[in-house]
Structure 1
Amino acid sequence: MGTDKKTGDPDERLSYEQARAELASVVERLEAGGTSLEESLALWERGERLAEVCQRWLDGARERIDATRRAREDSVTS
């Protein structure tokens, strides 16, 4: 995810840390209550998008770790 910025979606330019911090803020606002139904739904939708960004970063990190492990194992067995 880190290098794939083909879409014009500004969320795609968020770092993992930025997306996670904003997601935490959204969760806090939802838990605090006091918002209208419409605002709560908008916050929920924003949270879903931010969670997807975070998941893509985590998936990318996992892929890099797995690739590094495979390369190391291949060099040991060769």
Structure 2
Amino acid sequence: MSETPVAEMSFEAAMAELEQVVNQLERGDVALEDSIKLYERGAELKARCEAKLKEAEEKVAAITLDANGEPNGLKPVEGL
């Protein structure tokens, strides 16, 4: 498990660590206290991945296309 704060992780890093957490929990060979910590970290990682995906979706949705299908610019996205 990484020591990097979840809030500072990229989508890719959070997803990779989330996969590791799930694998450890699925194996079932982790002590109860460690399982709880892993589950908490996994919940944080999942939330980070969801937030980064939403952010990316909003950015993509903000791109408008002109009549030729070319990018016409970006509309401001609230909160970004």
Class of the TM-score when normalised by the shorter of the 2 chains: 0.7 to 0.9
The CA deviation string for residues 36-74 of structure 1, in whole angstroms up to 9 with x for no partner, is 211111100000000011001100011011111xx22xx
| Structure with the bigger percentage of helix | 1
State the match for 1:54 in structure 2. 49
Q: Which residue of the other structure, out of 64, 67, 76, is the alignment partner of 2:62?
A: 67
The CA deviation string for residues 5-56 of structure 1, in whole angstroms up to 9 with x for no partner, is xxxx921211110000000000000001111211111100000000011001
Two-structure CA RMSD over aligned residues (Å) = 1.5
Moved over 4 A (4+): none
Distance in 1 of aligned mates of 2:37 and 2:29: 14
Q: Which residue of the other structure, out of 16, 19, 24, is the alignment partner of 1:29?
A: 24
Greater RCO between the two (CA within 8 Å, min separation 6)?
Answer: 1
Q: How many residues matched? A: 64
Indicate whether 1:44 and 2:51 are aligned.
no
State the match for 2:78 in structure 1. none
Distance in 2 of aligned mates of 1:10 and 1:44: 15
What stretches of structure 1 of length at least 5 have no aligned partner? 1-8
What stretches of structure 2 of length at least 5 have no aligned partner? 68-80
> What is the letter of the counterpart of residue 58 of structure 1?
L
Identity %: 39
